[in-house]
Amino acid sequence: MLVPERRELLLTRLHRDGRLIAKDVAAELGLSEDSVRRDLRELAAAGLCQRVYGGAVPASPAVADYATRRGVAVDSKARVAAAAVQLIAPGSTVLLDGGTTALAVVAALPRDLVATVVTHSPTVAAALVDHPGVEVYVLGGRLFKHSAVTCGAAAVEAAAGVNADLFLLGVTGVHPDSGLTTGDADEAAMKRALARRAADTYVLASSEKIGAASPFTVLPLADVAGIVTDAPPSHEVVARLVQLGVPVVQAAADPG
């Protein structure tokens, strides 16, 4: 089997099964484990998979630049947002992450909602200007332009003064083995800092993020109150999450 054919086979298996174990694939194909690992390194360098211990899992498309992500899975994000806003109690204090799904949450908020929203996203804060009953606090710090959020020491210090009822967390990957991941180490640290300031953390996970992974761990699955997703209950990864005891909040097929 030629190298391009072998790598195409690896990608097909990866998307079919949701993960690859290098030693198992090597035994099946009669190859050395080093050859399979080399193939996985090349595929990962091309952004086609995410290497993990022992093999690989699908790479998340949500690590693209901010402008590109605004056009990805728009309907899926709207469904997740419609379900997520049901978690926001009137009068509560909510930490709202940055990113395109968080913007969809803002768009889905009831016009008469009275609440306090704390965010490290200038774009999310600006979108909340049109919600008269929502008090908005913006956490300052170094602007991470890829996701249009603040992070770093100043932002973490600002977050330390917040005590929230709910944190709506954005990630780029939700995987039963890799947990909750994102593409930048500093951004992952900021998300952890925010999660520590909320009584409950729910993950905003549109369907393209389910079963995918990125390089940096945000939190283990056991540390969140639930996953909000529009991926169906029959989805293999969703079923595995339920088996692991992770609460899943199912978004309706039509947010309207």
Q: What is the CATH number of the domain that holds 239?
A: 3.40.50.1360
pTM comes to 0.79
pLDDT at 47: 75
pLDDT at 22: 86
Amino acid type, 50: Q
- Residue 255 in any domain: the answer is no
Nearest of 59, 148, 83, 163 to residue 118 by alpha carbon: 163
- Residue 256 in any domain: the answer is no
Low-confidence residues in the chain, pLDDT < 70? 1, 61-73, 254-256
Pair 11, 134 in one domain: no
pLDDT at 8: 81
Pair 70, 141 in one domain: yes
Pair 18, 43 in one domain: yes
Nearest of 45, 53, 42, 46 to residue 19 by alpha carbon: 53
Pair 23, 129 in one domain: no
pLDDT at 62: 59
Distances (CA, A) of 229 to 74, 93, 204: 13, 22, 7
Report the residue count for the chain: 256
pLDDT at 142: 92
pLDDT at 149: 94
Q: Tell me how many domains the chain contains.
A: 2
- Residue 133 in any domain: the answer is yes
The domain spanning residue 51 has which CATH number?
1.10.10.10
pLDDT at 31: 83
pLDDT at 64: 52
Strands (E), 45-141: 50-52, 55-57, 93-96, 115-119, 134-138
Residue span of the structural domain in which 123 resides: 66-250
Angle 157-163-165 from CA coordinates, rounded to 5°: 140
Instruction: Please check whether residue 183 is in contact with residue 214, taking contact to mean a CB–CB distance below 8 angstroms.
Output: yes
